[in-house]
Amino acid sequence: MRWVCILFPQLALDAVLRQRPDPDEPLALLTGPAQRRVLQAVNASARALGLRAGQSMTAAQALSKAFATAEYDVAEIEHWQQFLAAWAYRFSSQVSVHYPRAVVFEIESSLGLFGPWPQFEARLRTELGELGFRHRIVAAPNPVAARVLANVYDGLVVPDNEALQHHLGQLPVDRIALEPAVATALSRMGLRTLGQVQALPRNSLARRFEAQVLKHLDALSGERQLALAFYLPPDRFDVRIELNFDVQSHQALLFPLRRLTGDLSAFLCGRDSGVQRFDLHLEHAGLPDTVIKVGLLSAERDPAMLFELARGRLEQVQVEAPVRGFRLRAEDLPSFVPQRQELFDDRPQQSLPWEQLRERLRARLGDDAVHGLRFQADHRPECAWQARVDNQLCAGLAGVQRPGWLLTQPLAIHEGSARILMGPERIESGWWDGDDVRRDYYLIETRSGQQGWAYRAVGEGGPLWLQGWFA
């Protein structure tokens, strides 16, 4: 088997930066009590100002005050690790969050689907870059070795156990995930690398150290299997973005909206599902949330479509109070069935998928402005097609031809401009709703070859009246 470890060394910082419109703004994450605030993490722009992790807030402000701050939240780190596990679930069913700030998953069975490892790795890095998470990726024969090697390497691929022993033997003892006291003891013994430790007699190590040390060394080499608890995706999506300032314009809400819909799409791809209904919550200070209901006619997960639909619904709402937070909740997550596509599409770059166009029109014009058609069991052509109000199919009349294009008003056909191919077909219907008709219908063909549906009232002469065209 082959395992991949994706390490996120700045997960807490990336989780905050990706929610800000300007990720290059100097930012520091703070911990500690109010009397002594300490910088836990800083981005590159903050380091350029002289700020460092471990500094007190007082010392940092003495250097510069041109930086933003946010709280270092451990719960948020766990939340985003779960989100990344949901993202990785689309590539493998064996995904684990056993290690903090890291995701490990088995990929040997996935290479046949996603292509060779270089191609697969490039896809992982591209998607993580779009999501806004910095990372290191290592592939190894077992998950423990992959996680330890990710402390030192990025992009390393270990093909077999022989190469694994070579790379592991070069690791410093303080980078192989041992307890600090154990690493210190090994260093005092003159052992600097894992290879030197493995060269010692096993009985000597067993007398000097606890059994857990030997178990860890065995797990690194693959001689002992690590029991991992695998990730199971949740049945709902609930993500919130806290805004840095009060917002009262739709334009300022578009960035968090794009981020939320992108995260929702990644979550749905991991579960192999779509979304049909979700809610947008605009959080206000001291007032109830403004809830925007968003509904789709079918399950979708394309990020561009979700953003456009949510944007259209958001722009219809008047923001009456300052917005402090933006939240997206989705609980209706049905299975997703991809739309069938033709092998040879004409100019796909100039075409818009019908589903995306439909939802965009519904968002801008209203739910009742766009609808489909369904066949109604009625002999009158003007009553045979009705606006579709449900997704249930209605079978047409067996062996009966009816035009697919009806005219708004029937048109008189001049004598000699068309010939009759079939008819008459008498229709006497509508007595139950007060719109009784008695007509003789004919299938006609014009000089240009078009076929139409025309009628003449029973017992009346005169011209035929064209009511519709056949496709």
Give the type of residue at 96. S
- Which is nearest to 428 in space by CA: 400, 457, 402? 457
- Which is nearest to 396 in space by CA: 408, 407, 404? 404
H or E element: which one contains 214? Answer: helix 211-221
The third-level CATH classification (topology) of the domain covering 1-25+67-232 is Alpha-Beta Plaits (3.30.70)
Task: Spell out the residues 6+ positions from residue 94 whose beta carbon is closer than 8 angstroms to its own.
Answer: 105, 106, 228, 230
Structure tokens belonging to residue 269: 């791809």
Say what the alpha-carbon torsion angle 315, 319, 324, 330 is, to the nearest 10 degrees.
-50
* 263/324 Cα distance (integer angstroms): 20
- Which is nearest to 238 in space by CA: 12, 96, 82? 82
Helix (H, G, I), strand (E, B) or coil at 413: strand
Domains of the chain, by residue range, sit at 1-25+67-232, 240-370, 381-469
* 279/137 Cα distance (integer angstroms): 35
Contact 96, 143 (CB under 8 A): yes
Asked: is 240-370 a CATH 3.40.630.30 domain? The reply is no
For 165-310, where are the E strands, in sequence order? 237-247, 275-284, 290-300
Give residue 75's Cα distance to chain centre: 22
Show contacts of 329-332: CB within 8 Å, 24+ apart.
Answer: 329/236, 329/237, 329/238, 329/278, 329/279, 329/281, 330/236, 330/237, 330/238, 330/264, 330/275, 330/277, 330/278, 330/279, 331/235, 331/236, 331/237, 331/277, 331/278, 332/275, 332/276, 332/277, 332/278
pLDDT of residue 6: 96
What is the full per-residue pLDDT of the chain (471 aa) written as tens digits? Answer: 689 999 999 999 999 998 888 888 999 999 998 889 999 999 999 999 999 999 999 999 999 989 999 999 888 899 999 999 999 998 998 999 999 999 999 998 888 889 999 999 999 999 999 999 999 999 999 999 999 999 999 999 998 989 999 999 999 999 998 999 999 999 998 999 999 998 888 888 888 888 898 999 999 988 888 888 998 888 889 988 888 788 888 888 999 899 999 999 989 988 888 998 999 999 998 888 999 999 887 888 889 889 988 998 898 888 888 898 899 999 888 888 766 656 555 555 556 677 777 777 777 777 777 776 666 666 777 776 666 655 555 555 556 677 777 888 888 887 778 888 887 888 877 777 767 788 888 888 888 888 888 888 887 777 888 888 886
* 338/316 Cα distance (integer angstroms): 30
Number of alpha carbons in the 13 Å side-chain half-sphere of residue 306:
26
Give the type of residue at 113. L
pLDDT of residue 133: 94
